[in-house]
C-alpha cells in the first residue's frame, strides 16, 4: 500500500508517553500512518494548517485550549478531517461537549490496538464509534434531562402564573406589592430560563409543559 493510500493520523495528547504509545499502535497497521503529534489543542490547529490529517486522535483534558475547543475549531475550518476523542474520562459533560464540537467518535484510553485501528478506519469512512461507557453516559443524560422550567424560583413561578392569567407588569406589581422594576427583572429571568423570545411564547411554553 502506498503512503498516499494510507489513512494519515495526527495524535494530540499532552503526555509524550501517550503519544509515543499511540504512534506505536498505529504503526502496527499497514493502512494507518501516524503523521505527527501535538501536546495541546493550539498546536493541533497549527499542525492542521500545515497538513491535513485524515483523522485526529484528540485528548480532551489538556492545559490551555482543551480538546473540545480544538475539535470545534478544526471541524469548522477543515470539515474533511475527522476527530476521535480519546480520553481517560467518561463523564456525561465531556462526552456531550466532544460530540457537539464535531467529534465522530469517543473512546477511552484502555481501548485495544485493534479497536483503535477499527475506529480510525470507521472515522475516515464517516462512521461513528462510541465506547460503551460513552454511549451509557449519553443515555443517562437523556434519561435525566431536566424538565422545562425546573430552575424557576418560587417568585418567578408565581409571576409566570400571573403572566398566564394575562396580567401586565404593572398589574403583577400591584398584585404582589413590589415595584415594576422588580417585576421586569423577574419576567426577564423567566423568559431567559424558558428560552422564550416574548411573554406570549413564555406563556405558551408554560402551558404546554404544565409548569403552571
| Domain at 21, CATH number | 3.40.50.2300
Percent of the chain with pLDDT over 70: 98
Q: Do 131 and 106 contact (CB within 8 A), yes or no?
A: yes
Find the domain containing 92 and state its range: 3-143
In this structure, the answer to whether residues 135 and 164 fall within a common structural domain is no
The CATH number for 199's domain is 1.10.10.10
Copy the grid coordinates of residue 131: 465506547
Statement: residue 119 has pLDDT above 90: yes
119, containing H or E segment: helix 113-124
Mean pLDDT of 48-61: 96
Indicate the residue among 123, 143, 163 that finishes a domain: 143
Mean pLDDT of the chain: 93
**Rounded Cα distance, 143 and 146, in Å:** 9
Task: Evaluate the CA torsion angle 58, 60, 65, 71 in order and state its sign.
Answer: positive
**Rounded Cα distance, 12 and 39, in Å:** 6
CA dist 118 → 70, 181, 212 (Å): 23, 60, 51
Percent of the chain with pLDDT over 90: 84
Domain assignment present for 149 = no
Tell whether pTM > 0.75. no
Statement: residue 120 has pLDDT above 80: yes
Domain assignment present for 108 = yes
In this structure, the answer to whether residues 44 and 63 fall within a common structural domain is yes
In this structure, the answer to whether residues 162 and 134 fall within a common structural domain is no
Domain assignment present for 102 = yes
Domain assignment present for 98 = yes
**Rounded Cα distance, 147 and 189, in Å:** 17
Copy the grid coordinates of residue 74: 478544526
Mean pLDDT of 83-105: 93
Amino acid at each position: 500500500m502506498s503512503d498516499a493510500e494510507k489513512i494519515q493520523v495526527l495524535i494530540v495528547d499532552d503526555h509524550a508517553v501517550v503519544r509515543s504509545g499511540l504512534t506505536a499502535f498505529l504503526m502496527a497497521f499497514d493502512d494507518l500512518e501516524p503523521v505527527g503529534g501535538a501536546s495541546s489543542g493550539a498546536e493541533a490547529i497549527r499542525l492542521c494548517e500545515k497538513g491535513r490529517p485524515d483523522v485526529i486522535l484528540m485528548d480532551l483534558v489538556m492545559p490551555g485550549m482543551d480538546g473540545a475547543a480544538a475539535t470545534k475549531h478544526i471541524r469548522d475550518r477543515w470539515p474533511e478531517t475527522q476527530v476521535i476523542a480519546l480520553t481517560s474520562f467518561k463523564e456525561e459533560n465531556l462526552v456531550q461537549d466532544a460530540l457537539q464540537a464535531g467529534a465522530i467518535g469517543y473512546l477511552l484510553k484502555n481501548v485495544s490496538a485493534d479497536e483503535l485501528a477499527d475506529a480510525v478506519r470507521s472515522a475516515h469512512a464517516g462512521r461513528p464509534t462510541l465506547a460503551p461507557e460513552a454511549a451509557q453516559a449519553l443515555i443517562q443524560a437523556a434519561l435525566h434531562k431536566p424538565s422545562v422550567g425546573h430552575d424557576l424560583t418560587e417568585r418567578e413561578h408565581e409571576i409566570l402564573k400571573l403572566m398566564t392569567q394575562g396580567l401586565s407588569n404593572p398589574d403583577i406589581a400591584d398584585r404582589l406589592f413590589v415595584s415594576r422594576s422588580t417585576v421586569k427583572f423577574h419576567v426577564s429571568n423567566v423568559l431567559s430560563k424558558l428560552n422564550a423570545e416574548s411573554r406570549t411564547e413564555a406563556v405558551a411554553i408554560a402551558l404546554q409543559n404544565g409548569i403552571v
